[in-house]
Amino acid sequence: MHAAENETSPANLLRCPELLAPAGHWDCAKAAVENGADAIYFGLDRFNARMRAQNFTEADLPQLMEFLHRRGVKGYVTLNTLIFPAELAEAEQYLRTIISAGVDAAIVQDIGICRLIRHLSPDFPIHASTQMTITSAAGVEFAQTIGCQLVVLARECSIKEINKIQQQIAEKNVSLPLEVFVHGALCVAYSGQCLTSESLGGRSANRGECAQACRMPYELISDGQVIDLGNQDNRKYLLSPQDLAGLDVLPELVKTGVSCLKIEGRLKSPEYVASVTRVYRQALDRAMSDLESTDQGSEDRYNLEMAFSRGLYTGWFEGINNQALVHARFGKKRGVYLGEVTQICNEQITLRLQAPLKPGDGVVFDSGHPEASEEGGRIYTIDRQGQDAILAFGRGALNFKRIHLGDRVWKTSDPELDHQVRQTYAGDTPHFQRPIDLEIYGDIGQTLGVIARDRVGHVVQVESEMLLVEAHSKPLTSDRLQEQLGRLGNTPFCLDCLTNHLNSSVMLPVSELNRIRREIVAQLETLRAQPKRWQFDSNAMLSELLPVVLDRTVASPRLLVLVRSLGQLRAALETDIQTLYCEFEDPRTYKQAVQLVRQHGKEVWVAPPRIIKPGENWILQQVRDAQADGYLVRNYDQLQFFEQTRCIGDFSLNVANALTADYLMQTFVLERVTASYDLNISQLQDLLTSASPDWFEVTIHQHMPMFHMEHCVFCAFMSDGTDYTNCGRPCEKHDVKLRDRVGTEHILTADAGCRNTVFNGKAQTGAEYFQSLVKLGVNHFRIEFVNEAPEHIKHTIECYQKLLKGEINGSQLWRSLNLQNQLGVTRGTF
């Protein structure tokens, strides 16, 4: 098996995208390589977004990179988490090791780490992780300014939006290649913007510790009443998207000009990696030979569903369809759908088969309650009667009392397929060969010269040890050369193009041709095995990048209040708070809010939505039209759009260390940045001591914004519409919450872009640490409201004002609000 040559295919002029596969450990790396991956991405034992994977160690790097490069495959290290202040020195050492080992690139989330890499090496490649939440040309441009060579777009970008981003970056002369996820699990929240695991359990997704709360069941509560979503389907998995499968739109993806297609799955098995990589390798090669063909192979979907599937869907590639993205019936692996139970008799199950099934396959019976233990087992015999199949199982294998008519049946195991997949990467002999080209030169009385080239830039030249003589029989024709030099079995290579420049009919013994072939293989493998040599400044130090911290002065702390409705704003204006932030669903309301605040002689800042996509600058224009005193900026578009005006960077910019804070403060002349919500009190204190404390604003009271997502729960489950054009806007008419398994009712809101945020139903406070933060120099403290009534808002503000004046301490405030307001205030991430 080998890759088709497609870069020069006459059917198209587009470059074939790189196929990037996941590898959680060695077997996965082999599975990816032997099934056609052009590159793999993997984590080390720190600082990667899949800490539950086995991961590689720093000591593995030389051997791993040599293995990959011998096989013509690149290796990218995932350094895609936020880095806290106390970890910067360790991260620096990590980077020195990674660069020295010849790794092909690092996939990075943290802005400060991008700066550190560029400080250490001017040319080591940085790939902007999807955790950077880049959804626009402005985001790509930002990535370029911090030294990135490639951008992994947010998974929420459609093909239409990818094309628009490509067009816009070309107009701006930004030449960064783009990478997109093509297959695997979809996070319901924007990567880099999910604080759910942090909020519910102190396990941050931005730190590789996602607890997958999106895969859990929730009840939908509208105006205080539970919405019946269909008991027979048990539609409770309201935040669990189907798995992404870009197979059906692969030609369209190639046409966008993206440089890399990425498969998700560093927590998955080697069988998954092998199967999915193989399907996309073959489909990509077919697509490159005929971009107008929609034939993706009859077995492809079956193989993908058996590898791992919660249902397969094109995600956001074809635009927003909230009815299709989340079916809500289950949040775990299923496999291939076989049909519904139509009869149960004599310990046999009858169904009308909709997919292949054979004895030995494993099935599970889905009664609509995936949270409970489910019946399943292996097929013993199959009796086919017309379109029906009667399934028998081993004696005692099933409890038939727990199986019902109408149960869905899923095929979860195919041992024969698993065996075939494992064979693709078993043993040490290469299974997947990558093409090389040969040029042949020589004449009578000269040596035979062979120039060999692989597809990653290596060139070798081998000369025969004897001279060519005139051929009386079996001359070295192109066919004969192809036959002898193309015998590359058990090597990493296959012969693709042979160009014969021999000027006359000559001959050479077969043994010499064989020696030349072996020498070509040996020299190419030696060249490939040499580690990449990136430029590296061994004298560069982390300390040279860190900002200079001036003498600290303890100033009078100020309280800033963020409200989310005009009613809340009016309540806050009745207090003596002087600076107010507004974050409303409809930015057109900001004009009224600004006028209202100005009538009270106070300062008002307004917040645009957290995500901006191509074509949505009209939202930013509506925000600017309010002519507020300043703007709470959330993303790269807003840093650019509101340049030259008063701006404060919000928490969504993920400021977790002084390198990031310094870059944003100096480059965009921000007044302050909001400390990342991922920081606990110790990490926050480290941040405040490593940079000027007056740079930072600390959110001391809030309902944690857990999920921020393109998926609209209002549209999906409270309308028959697919998006904002036909949903009827239930978000404007109903107070909606999501009740989790422990009974907490989390608050659901929508913004101007129809994106949803789920706020933790329990507010949290850092009041107990207020005095220590003031001593460190913090003087801007924010409290945020979501759906609180006006009287609750005034009472909460009064409590915090007493805290600022020293009339109560943090513990008293926490207990007071908990008892009097029943807000369920907790100590939260602090």
Across the range 694-713, mean pLDDT stands at: 94
For the segment 762-817, what is each residue's pLDDT rounded down to a tens digit?
A: 899 999 999 999 999 999 999 999 999 999 999 999 999 999 999 999 888 988 88
The pLDDT value recorded for residue 207 is 67
Instruction: Please say whether the beta carbons of 63 and 102 come within 8 A.
Output: no
The pLDDT value recorded for residue 9 is 40
Q: Determine the Cα–Cα distance for residues 261 and 250; give it in Å rounded to an integer.
A: 10
Q: If we measure between CA atoms, which residue out of 767, 764, 753 comes closest to residue 724?
A: 753
For the segment 475-534, what is each residue's pLDDT rounded down to a tens digit?
A: 999 999 999 999 999 999 999 999 999 988 999 999 999 999 999 999 999 999 998 899
Query: Which tops the pLDDT comparison, 830 or 621?
Result: 621
**Tokens 């698993």 identify what position?**
418
What count of Cα atoms within 13 Å lies in the side-chain half-sphere of residue 351? 25
The pLDDT value recorded for residue 818 is 66
The pLDDT value recorded for residue 294 is 60
Across the range 628-638, mean pLDDT stands at: 97
Question: Is 11 a residue whose pLDDT tops 70?
Answer: no
* β-pair partners for 79: 108
Q: Return the sign of the alpha-carbon dihedral for residues 532, 260, 635, 730.
A: negative
Instruction: Please say whether the beta carbons of 538 and 122 come within 8 A.
Output: no
The listed range with the strongest mean pLDDT (271-280, 363-372, 382-391) is 271-280
Burial pattern 249-283, b for ≥16 Cβ within 10 A else e, equals bbbbbbbbebbbbbbbbbbbbbbbbbbbbbbbbbb
Residue 12's pLDDT band (cuts 50, 70, 90): very low
Question: Is 331 a residue whose pLDDT tops 90?
Answer: no
Q: Determine the Cα–Cα distance for residues 192 and 212; give it in Å rounded to an integer.
A: 14
For the segment 235-256, what is each residue's pLDDT rounded down to a tens digit?
A: 899 999 999 999 999 999 999 9
The pLDDT value recorded for residue 69 is 96
| CA angle in degrees (0–180, nearest 5) for 453-459-465 | 100
Name the helix (H) or strand (E) containing 108.
strand 105-108
CA 15 from centroid of its chain's CA atoms: 24
Instruction: Please say whether the beta carbons of 314 and 245 come within 8 A.
Output: yes
For the segment 551-599, what is each residue's pLDDT rounded down to a tens digit?
A: 777 778 999 999 999 999 999 999 999 999 999 999 999 999 999 999 9
Instruction: Please say whether the beta carbons of 604 and 597 come within 8 A.
Output: yes
The pLDDT value recorded for residue 214 is 87
Q: If we measure between CA atoms, which residue out of 329, 156, 313 comes closest to residue 231?
A: 329
The end-to-end CA distance of the chain, in Å, is 55
Which residue type, as a one-letter code, is found at position 468? L
Q: Determine the Cα–Cα distance for residues 789 and 773; give it in Å rounded to an integer.
A: 29
Q: If we measure between CA atoms, which residue out of 704, 700, 675 comes closest to residue 786?
A: 704
Across the range 340-361, mean pLDDT stands at: 94
SS3 content of the chain, % helix, strand, coil (to 5): 35, 25, 45
For the segment 201-246, what is each residue's pLDDT rounded down to a tens digit?
A: 665 666 666 777 888 999 999 999 999 887 556 789 999 999 999 9
The pLDDT value recorded for residue 827 is 54
Q: Determine the Cα–Cα distance for residues 613 and 827; give it in Å rounded to an integer.
A: 35
Percent of the chain scoring above 90 in pLDDT: 82
Point out the least confidently predicted range of 148-157, 666-675, 734-743, 811-820.
811-820
Longest dimension (CA), the chain: 108
For the segment 121-157, what is each residue's pLDDT rounded down to a tens digit?
A: 999 999 999 999 999 999 999 999 999 999 999 999 9
The pLDDT value recorded for residue 368 is 85
| Region of 536 on the Ramachandran plot (φ > 0 left; ψ -120 to 50 alpha; else beta) | beta
Q: Determine the Cα–Cα distance for residues 368 and 231; give it in Å rounded to an integer.
A: 8
Which residue type, as a one-letter code, is found at position 822? Q
Q: Determine the Cα–Cα distance for residues 451 and 172; give it in Å rounded to an integer.
A: 41
Question: Is 820 a residue whose pLDDT tops 50?
Answer: no
How do beta strands 39-43 and 18-22 pair?
Answer: parallel
Q: Determine the Cα–Cα distance for residues 573 and 561; give it in Å rounded to an integer.
A: 10
Helix and strand tally (H, E) in the chain? 24, 35
The pLDDT value recorded for residue 378 is 96
Domains of the chain: 18-186+241-307 (3.20.20.70), 335-423 (2.40.30.20), 434-529 (no CATH), 555-705+765-821 (3.20.20.70)
Question: Is 182 a residue whose pLDDT tops 90?
Answer: yes
Name the helix (H) or strand (E) containing 714.
helix 713-718
Contacts of 578 (CB under 8 A, 6+ apart): 558, 602, 603
Q: Determine the Cα–Cα distance for residues 784 and 704; give it in Å rounded to an integer.
A: 9
Alpha helices by DSSP H, 462-559: 478-485, 510-529
SS3 339: strand
Query: Which tops the pLDDT comparison, 234 or 434?
Result: 434
User: Considering the chain, what is the average pLDDT of its residues?
Assistant: 92
The pLDDT value recorded for residue 829 is 53
The pLDDT value recorded for residue 731 is 93
Q: Determine the Cα–Cα distance for residues 177 and 144; give it in Å rounded to an integer.
A: 10
